[in-house]
Structure 1
């Protein structure tokens, strides 16, 4: 393991010299240097080029002086590597050619050699960053991956997903069990290559009731996370998951919180857990005094938890002014 840092200390609930910060999900996509190196290269292809992945992952660290680097990837990378016919369509998201509707549609298991490009990218990053800046591994959670595979792409209401979940529970659990295995392998490749922490990203879990989440989803997320208990700090994040936070907290070390839930409320819902979050990324377009006020509030609320890692309450929007992000990091470090 790399040497301890403010990020890793906070993830473990230990005292820190400053509130650590990193920017979640494609953190560099607002940068001109990102747009330059990505020009003309499709998203999936970008994720398969180790040197390009390394460069894109490093860009926010160089520009903003954040405390950790998040591996540049996409949640459907392991699915494509396992043979699922899909593409990431600009302005739409992942689109699956043949949605899952029967047992014969289950994706194949992932072999570590299928994502050797991820192994190479992480090793390049660890060598470049050394022990000062940890690298965070990244993967989509089984439920969110399943929603894409069943719906065939992004969905507002997840009607096909919920219908299959309740109408054919045998197929549902077989699919999520397979996706948990794929995700565990994908993360294990990253851990073996040297990442210092992992994040399981469940974008659409907030579409579920707590009862459905606990019955149909939590066991499979737990299967992924349990493989890394005591190995590296584990972060679990979902969007619109306020009602699910106690359940999600049961399988993780650090609970990611979106902007809808105050951190002191999250701390009460998940006592003893380190927190990550949670500035609304839309506020980065507001005047600086608004950004500063909200940032100070979030840092103060974060002190209610054993550890707090400042983050946006979702991803960086491409139109965000990079200078605002740099100024934000400087403010957080000063607090």
Structure 2
């Protein structure tokens, strides 16, 4: 499959360890809820209609490239689509969030799980990637992504979002054999899913370990880290970034993984992040709430962030996803501050 030649190579050059004139910039959740153009589409189509219709997913993915001007696009999708490969229904209830009517809460239920190959179940993701890569016409690279096995495990067992994921943790700790088997299932599916994304056109990949902080450091090493090691050990042929939310103690573990980049939350200083990363490219870590400040403040804070991280081997990004109430001009002020940066 042939695609247009890439014109803006800044993001991939940085991940390849090359010297660049400035850091590249993109924002987690940049495709979506803060953009009026996205909200217009949302008025017409449900969330999963948007995700599962390649033309809509592609249009939404490209919107921030046109409007805000980031150096990379990330596919508009959701980490929970992978759960469908277990033949388990996922709903998104307005005002409530993800909901699984039939969560996995017993060892017997784990044994009953039927795995559907990702290439069969998630063809709409691959179609969206291929279409988006073509529609981007080489303007910026395209990022694919997946949720980490532990993060998906949390939803599989809890059945919904949670502040503590106590039900998921209780299942894991009380039935560790069944818990580990479920985590191993998710790891294998995730690896397949990522390989298929690259075949479809993804030029970089990111793993979202969103609920790492629900586990303590020792339990993270016991249950979650082996999954991440297996995922990182694969050769996808493209850069792999690992993002672990709110668990800065895990960063030193990630530096030992076979990853290209390490995503950093705002709870970790740039200096400490560089120390943890041990030479790996770092990405982050602007607090999304600061995008609600005046543009002048945003530009000053973004410049200071780059100065502290250092402009080389660094990808400017947020410490987590952009908030829905961020004005578009403020998001653009952040992006422009990075694009105008010169050391």
- Give the TM-score normalised by the residue count of structure 2: 0.92
Distance in 2 separating the partners of 1:105 and 1:68: 40
Distance in 2 separating the partners of 1:81 and 1:171: 18
Residue pair 2:25, 2:71 contacting (<8 A) in 1 also: yes
Residue pair 2:107, 2:175 contacting (<8 A) in 1 also: no
Distance in 1 separating the partners of 2:229 and 2:48: 27
- Residue 278 of structure 1 aligns to a residue in which SS? strand
Cα RMSD after superposing both structures: 1.7
In structure 2, list runs of 5 or more residues that go unmatched: none
Instruction: Name which of structure 1's ranges 311-320 and 10-19 shifts more when overlaid on structure 2.
Output: 10-19
Following superposition, the deviation at residue 26 of structure 1 comes to 4.9
Does residue 16 of the first structure (1) align with residue 20 of the second (2)?
yes
Following superposition, the deviation at residue 132 of structure 1 comes to 3.4
The number of aligned residues is 333
Residue 295 (structure 2) aligned to one of 288, 295, 306:
288
- Residue 230 of structure 2 aligns to a residue in which SS? helix
Task: Provide, for residues 258-282 of structure 1, a one-character-per-residue CA deviation record: whole Å limited to 9, x for no partner.
Answer: 1111122111012111011011001
Distance in 1 separating the partners of 2:131 and 2:199: 13
Distance in 2 separating the partners of 1:103 and 1:225: 28
Instruction: Name which of structure 1's ranges 119-128 and 51-60 shifts more when overlaid on structure 2.
Output: 119-128
Residue equivalent to 1:197: 204
Residue 320 (structure 1) aligned to one of 317, 322, 326:
326
- Residue 317 of structure 2 aligns to a residue in which SS? coil
Instruction: Name which of structure 1's ranges 156-165 and 29-38 shifts more when overlaid on structure 2.
Output: 156-165
Following superposition, the deviation at residue 81 of structure 1 comes to 4.7
Residue equivalent to 1:302: 309
Residue equivalent to 1:45: 49
- Residue 33 of structure 2 aligns to a residue in which SS? coil
Residue pair 1:82, 1:114 contacting (<8 A) in 2 also: no
Distance in 2 separating the partners of 1:45 and 1:187: 22
Residue equivalent to 1:88: 92
- Give the TM-score normalised by the residue count of structure 1: 0.94
Residue equivalent to 2:172: 165
Following superposition, the deviation at residue 150 of structure 1 comes to 1.0
Residue pair 2:290, 2:298 contacting (<8 A) in 1 also: yes
